[in-house]
Amino acid sequence: MNPFLFILYDIKRLFGRGKTAFIAMLSPIPVILMFALFLAPVLTQGNGAFFSGAILNEDNSESVDQLMNIIINYEVKKGNVAVYPVKEKETGERMVDEGKVAVFMYIPPDTYADSMNGNRVVMEFYYTPSRAFDALTFYTGIKSSLSVFGQGIRLVNIAVGIAKKLGLSEDEIFRIWDEGVLDLQNVFIHRGRVIGKNGIFLFGADYHFRFAIALLFATCAYMSSFPVIYLTSLDLSEIFNKRSIPAKRLLLYFIARIISGAILILFSFLIMFPVARLLRQIELNFALSVIPGIILTSLVFSSLAVLIGSMFKRGQSALWAGLYFGTASVASVAFLSDKTDIPEALALLMRISPFRASVSIFSNGMFNLMIERYAFDMFVLFSAFVIFSAAGFVIYMKRSAL
CB count within 10 Å of CB 2 equals: 7
CB 251 within 8 A of CB 393: yes
119 counts as binding another protein under rule CB under 8 A = yes
Which string of b and e fits 44-68 if b means at least 16 CB within 10 Å?
eeeeebbbbbbbbbebebebbeebb
Shorter beta-carbon distance to another protein: residue 4 or 151: 151
- Interacting stretch for another protein, rule CB under 8 A, among 72-80, 172-180, 255-263, 296-304? 172-180
Shorter beta-carbon distance to another protein: residue 154 or 398: 154
Q: Which of 42, 70, 176, 295 binds another protein (CB under 8 A)?
A: 176
Q: What is the total count of residues that contact another protein (CB under 8 A)?
A: 122
CA 125 to centroid of chain Cα atoms: 26
Cα(156)–Cα(152) distance, integer angstroms: 7
Q: Which of 11, 70, 113, 159 binds another protein (CB under 8 A)?
A: 159
Q: Find, among 250, 148, 263, 140, the residue nearest to 205 by Cα.
A: 140
Beta-carbon contacts of residue 271 (< 8 Å; ≥ 6 apart): 25, 28, 29, 32
127 counts as binding another protein under rule CB under 8 A = yes
60 counts as binding another protein under rule CB under 8 A = no
- Consecutive H or E run containing 105: strand 103-107
Q: Which of 9, 13, 38, 89 binds another protein (CB under 8 A)?
A: 38
Near another protein in 282-321, by CB under 8 A: 315-317, 319-320
Q: Which of 53, 227, 261, 392 binds another protein (CB under 8 A)?
A: 227
| Shortest distance in whole angstroms from residue 151 CB to another protein | 5
- Interacting stretch for another protein, rule CB under 8 A, among 51-59, 123-131, 293-301, 384-392? 123-131
147 counts as binding another protein under rule CB under 8 A = yes
| Shortest distance in whole angstroms from residue 209 CB to another protein | 9
CB count within 10 Å of CB 293 equals: 22
Cα(49)–Cα(247) distance, integer angstroms: 62
Residues 327-346 as x/- pattern, contact with another protein by CB under 8 A: ----------xxxxx-----
Cα(401)–Cα(397) distance, integer angstroms: 8
| Shortest distance in whole angstroms from residue 145 CB to another protein | 6
Near another protein in 203-222, by CB under 8 A: 203-208, 210-212, 214
Q: Which of 23, 245, 252, 271 binds another protein (CB under 8 A)?
A: 23
Backbone torsion region of residue 245, taken as left when φ is above 0, otherwise alpha when ψ lies between -120 and 50, otherwise beta: beta
- Interacting stretch for another protein, rule CB under 8 A, among 70-78, 115-123, 246-254, 272-280? 115-123
56 counts as binding another protein under rule CB under 8 A = no
Cα(53)–Cα(268) distance, integer angstroms: 38
